[in-house]
Copies of this chain bind each other. A is one copy, B any other.
Amino acid sequence: MSTLMNYSKDKLWQIEQNGFDQAYLGKTEAIMALGNGYLGARSAEEEAYISETRDTFVAGTFNAFDENEVTELPNVPDMWAMTFVFNDKPLNLTFGQVSAYKKRLNLKNGELTRDFIWEYDGLKLKFSFRRFVSKKRLHLLMSKVAIENLTSNPVTVALKSGINGQVSNEGSQHFTDGEKGLMAGKFIQMMPMTTGSKIQFVQTVEHRLSVENSQRPETGRRAFFMNYDFELAGNGKVEIEKRGNIYTSIDKDVDSHELKKLRAVAVDELQAIQTLTFDQLLLESGEEWDKVWRKHPIKITSEDFRDQIAIRFAQYHLHSIMPAHDDRMNIGAKGLSGEGYKGHTFWDTEVFMLPYFTFTHPELAKSLLTYRYRGLDGAHKKAASNGYSGAQYPWEAAWPTDGEVCPVWGAADIVTGQAIKIWSGFIEQHITSDVAFGVKQYLDVTGDKTFEIEKGYEILLDTAKFWTSRLEWNAETGLYEICDVMGPDEYKEHINNNSYTNYTAHWNMTYALQLMEELKTNSPELYAILDKKLDLSALTEAILAKVDKILLPKATEAGIIPQDDSYLTKTTVDLQKFKSADGVDGLFHVYNLEQINQMQITKQADVLLLMLLFEGLFDEALKLKNFDYYEPKTTHDSSLSLSTHAILSADLGKLEKSYDFFNQAKNIDMGEYMKSSDAGIHAASLGGIWQMTVLGYGGVRMVDGKLRIEPHLPNEWQALDYGFDYQGESISVSVDKEKMTLTKADDGNPIRFSYHQHEYTLQNTLTL
């Protein structure tokens, strides 16, 4: 365990690593990743290290390596590396003396900097690296380095820099070796194409050096570099700027996807900004970031200043990975910051990240849900292939029409050598009601009638249609069951009647019934259109026939809602010793998955998540009993678990426990554990940080379609300021230990909400 992360009370926009360790490159590569939703890049160092993971991704450009692999977001030919050799010694910070090392991400404007002094074998050089991905010009990558010679001896410098297509996704190569060209004498261009999905890329790079140099182009297989040789005078300084852009044939912001045109667009863009400096381009990008920060700024007054950094860290990453430019794309479980989960979209979006966008950037939430609407065909295919009707959403989603992209086989059991089957794609079916839940929440919060009419109803009805077909009749009990599934708790495979799954399916169907009745009455035209698509009368009939006979697990005498048919009959085990371990491996050193399957051990919130999302269904006493029952049995091995527990425990008055969960969640990526982010940041957990802050401590909640605001700050927080959009109105909230003040513009519609069982109306300002 290293202690290389450094946070400062005076730098609440800053993530800093204050020492270099080649064993922990993955940490800052991921948590300091750059992105603008169009493209994202891990912040791998300019100089190469054996243990690096050098990734650049362009959202939506999925490709499958071969027929045995599912589609994944391909690692694009690298444009960030710069190979420096000083007096025949390659820059390598593992060796020599490194001092004043600071690698920093400025969350406010998305600028990455890295400063240090390197001494080796008579060399003493001061480096200052800067980078950003433009939030204004989505295709643009900017990089700059200043090198100062701190000795009086001249140093010979060799720099090799360009585009390197020999990178891959851990050895899986997704690109053909495309054409290469040197345009206008200075723009290096490479034109790789994805092998299967045939997406054409155009990557262009330009270098600017502040010193006279001899230069030599070098092309190779999948590579195009420029070599620069120059002398760095004693006590001299040199600046090198590298500008690049990426265009693809699925871009919506270009007129033509013809290769020739794409190439011209790329060169034209770099030509157009010739007179703009690095700082000017950074400034205009920062102005775009400011729009994020000005929308509902969050201020946390806490004993731990890192809480404020954490919410900014969360928002920074959520926006850097949000494909705001294209509703055919969604957010991957690791965003654009790593190869983990292959860039695929999970329920993480609807249950953990979408609420942030729904409450603060509804236009982005709409884009994410439009992606699900575009995914209906794939969901139909999945349902049909399993013998069901309606829309069964894929557990893992890539390009919306791809359908299920969850790998069927995972890593091999190293003892038997047999690949382990991944069941999630087959039996983790709650994703379908999660999507419906996300749509419902979006509609409730925004009141977006257009989306509801054009897409929302259809998703809600089509998913209900799936569930209706999915139910299994049990003649013995006279009930409809849902057997052989996996709930949110992935430690329990092949179980029957998972409460989360059954309750949410029941809700999905009940709500569809209600919608169909409303539609028939109020919007007969729309009803007719949807009826033609979905056969609504048959659906109504089927739901009516089944909905009241769905097995909804009831509380035991002790008040415990069983997680599934068999959970409560399993043996229990004391998990305390595993919870205190750093990683989550401890448990698996003692038990294997099969054994854990037979114990009351839960990976993440399952019954408790149900109680949070559908809080109106259960009373507080019942929630408390279940919290006290399930939480000690939960390992929180999934980063998705903590926010649910934090919010629920705050609701239940367990503020200390809640803040403990908040801290754990905060530290998943930002913390001292240097290996936790290797495969990428934990996007759902970042959504969770916002949820804990605003929905949990800020107390904003939609209950049965109605707004409730009931803050409960943790003891460590003196005050919290936040805001959200609701029904087209922008609401600001200031909370401290004594009171809550709500503000909105006077000229909008009045907003009704509840606060501790009382109804209030907000016109402009209200203090409670």
Q: Using a CB–CB distance below 8 Å, which chain A residues touch chain B?
A: 22-23, 48, 50, 65-66, 68-69, 83, 88-90, 92, 94-96, 120, 165-173, 176-177, 179-183, 189, 195, 217, 219-224, 263, 411-412, 414-419
Chain B residues contacting A181 (CB-CB under 8 Å) are 412, 414-418
When the two chains form their complex, are residues A66 and B195 in contact, meaning their CB atoms are under 8 A apart?
yes
Please, could you name 10 A-B residue pairs with CB atoms under 8 Å apart, sorted by A? A48-B50, A50-B90, A66-B176, A68-B177, A89-B95, A179-B419, A180-B412, A189-B417, A217-B414, A220-B411
So how many copies of this chain end up in the complex? 2
For the complex, what is the distance from the CA of A88 to the CA of B94, rounded to whole Å?
9
Contact, CB under 8 Å: B411 / A219 = yes
Contact B168–A166 (Cβ < 8 Å) = yes
| Whole-angstrom CA separation of A490 from B48 in the bound complex | 39
In the bound complex, do residue A177 and residue B172 qualify as a contact, i.e. CB atoms below 8 Å apart? yes
Distance in angstroms from A367 CB to nearest chain B CB is 31
Shortest beta-carbon distance, A78 to chain B, in Å?
11
- Contacts of A66 on B, CB cut-off 8 Å? 176, 195
| A contact patch SS | loop
In the complex, residue of chain B having the shortest beta-carbon distance to the beta carbon of A90: B94
B168 touches A168 (CB 8 A): yes
A189 to B65 CA separation, bound complex (whole angstroms): 22
Task: Collect the chain B residues with CB atoms within 8 Å of residue A222's CB.
Answer: 170-172
Q: In the bound complex, how far is the Cα of B222 from the Cα of A220, in angstroms?
A: 25
> How many whole Å from A164's CB to the nearest CB in chain B?
8
Q: Is the CB of B48 within 8 A of A170?
A: no
Contact of A94 among B89, B168, B189 (CB under 8 A): B89
Contacts of A95 in B (CB 8 A): 89, 92, 94-96, 120
User: Once the chains bind, are B219 and A183 in contact (CB under 8 Å)?
Assistant: no
Measured CA separation A222–B65 after assembly (Å): 13
On whether the beta carbons of A170 and B50 are closer than 8 Å, the reply is no
Q: Give Cα A48–Cα B52 distance, bound, in whole angstroms.
A: 13
Within the complex, what minimum Cβ distance (angstroms) separates A259 from chain B? 10
Residues of B within 8 A of A166 (CB): 168, 170-171
Q: Are A415 and B92 in contact (CB under 8 A)?
A: no
CA distance A50 to B82 in the complex (A): 12
Bound complex: CA A183 to CA B221 (Å):
38
Chain B nearest Cβ from A215, distance in angstroms: 12
Beyond A90-B94, A181-B412, 6 extra complex contacts between A and B, CB < 8 Å: A23-B88, A95-B120, A171-B177, A171-B223, A172-B173, A182-B414
How distant is the Cα of A417 from the Cα of B178 in the complex, in angstroms? 10
B179 pairs with A90, CB closer than 8 A: no
Q: Establish whether residues A417 and B179, one from each chain, have CB atoms under 8 Å apart when the complex forms.
A: yes
- CB–CB A170/B221 < 8 A: yes
Bound-complex Cα distance A217 to B413 (A): 11
Report chain B residues within 8 Å CB of A172: 173, 177, 221-222
Chain B's closest residue to A193 (CB) is: B68
Indicate if the CB atoms of B183 and A417 lie closer than 8 Å: yes
B-side contacts of A96, CB under 8 Å: 95
Q: How far is the CB of A623 from chain B (nearest CB, A)?
A: 41
Closest to A95 in B: B95
Interface centre among A88, A220, A221, A412 (most CB of B within 10 A): A412
A681 CB to closest chain B CB (Å) equals: 19
What is the CA–CA distance of A289 and B80 in the complex, to the nearest angstrom?
48
Q: Tell me whether A171 and B168 are in contact (CB under 8 A).
A: yes
| A120, A176, A223 interface centre (most CB from chain B within 10 Å) | A176
- A624–chain B nearest beta-carbon distance, Å: 42
Determine whether the beta carbon of B65 is less than 8 Å from that of A173: yes
Q: How far is the CA of A764 from the CA of B345 in the complex (A)?
A: 83
Please give, as numbers and ranges, the residues of chain B lying within 8 Å of A182 by CB-CB distance. 414-415, 417
| A416 closest partner in B (C-beta) | B181
**Of the residues B217, B219, B220, B411, contact of A180 by C-beta under 8 Å:** B411
Q: Which residue of B lies closest to A419 (CB)?
A: B179
CA distance A517 to B675 in the complex (A): 79
Is B50's CB under 8 angstroms from A219's CB?
Answer: no
Q: Which residues of B contact A415 (CB under 8 A)?
A: 181-182
Query: Across the interface, do A414 and B88 meet the contact criterion of CB distance under 8 Å?
Result: no
Distance to closest chain B CB from A653 (angstroms): 44
Going nearest first, the 8 A-B pairs with the smallest beta carbon separation are: A181-B417, A166-B171, A95-B95, A170-B221, A173-B173, A171-B222, A182-B414, A180-B412
Q: In whole Å, how far is A59's beta carbon from the nearest beta carbon of chain B?
A: 22
**Residue picked from A92, A96, A181, A415, most chain B C-beta under 10 Å:** A181
Q: A520 to chain B: closest CB distance in Å?
A: 52
Q: Contacts of A92 on B, CB cut-off 8 Å?
A: 92, 94-95
Query: How far, in Å, is A223 (CB) from chain B's closest CB?
Result: 8
Contact A414 B224 (CB under 8 A): yes
Taking a contact as CB atoms under 8 Å apart, the answer to whether A168 and B177 are in contact is no
A495 to chain B, nearest CB (A): 28
User: Is the pair A22, B90 in contact by a Cβ cutoff of 8 Å?
Assistant: yes
Contact of A412 among B179, B414, B417 (CB under 8 A): B179
Q: Which residue of B lies closest to A77 (CB)?
A: B171
Q: In the complex, A169 Cα to B223 Cα: how many Å?
A: 13
Tell me the bound Cα distance from A90 to B419 in angstroms.
Answer: 33
A176's partner among B68, B167, B221 (CB-CB below 8 A) is B68
Let me know if A173 and B171 touch, CB within 8 A: yes
Q: Which single member of B165, B180, B263 contacts A414 (CB below 8 Å)?
A: B180
A185 to chain B, nearest CB (A): 8
Chain B positions within 8 Å of A411 at CB level: 180, 219-220
Chain B residue with Cβ nearest A188: B414
**B residues near A177, Cβ cutoff 8 Å:** 65, 68-69, 171-172
Looking at the assembled complex, report how far the CB atom of A6 sits from the nearest CB atom of chain B, in whole angstroms.
20
The answer on a CB contact under 8 Å between A417 and B180 is yes
Docked complex Cα distance between A195 and B196 (Å): 13
B22, B69, B221, B263: which contacts A171 (Cβ < 8 A)? B221
Cα-based distance from A195 to B66 in the complex (angstroms): 7
The residues of B that contact A220 with a CB separation of less than 8 Å are 170, 411
Contacting residues, chain B, for A169 (C-beta < 8 A): 221
**Min distance, Cβ A456 to any Cβ of chain B, angstroms:** 39
Residues of B with C-beta under 8 A to A183: 417
Q: Please, which residues of chain B bring their CB within 8 A of the CB of A171? A: 165-168, 173, 177, 221-223
Enumerate chain B residues within 8 angstroms of A88, measured Cβ to Cβ: 23
Minimal beta-carbon separation of A22 from chain B (angstroms): 7
Q: Give the docked Cα–Cα distance between A477 and B9 (Å).
A: 94
Per the bound structure, the CA–CA distance linking A69 and B416 in Å amounts to: 37
Contacts of A23 in B (CB 8 A): 88
Q: Which residues of B contact A219 (CB under 8 A)?
A: 411-412, 414
In the complex, which residue of chain B has the Cβ closest to the Cβ of A65? B173
Chain B residue at minimal CB-CB distance from A179: B412
Cα A68 to Cα B191 in complex, Å, equals 14
Instruction: Return chain B residues, CB-CB under 8 Å to A83.
Output: 50
CB of A668 to closest CB in B, whole Å = 22
A96 to B624, alpha carbons, bound, how many Å?
A: 62
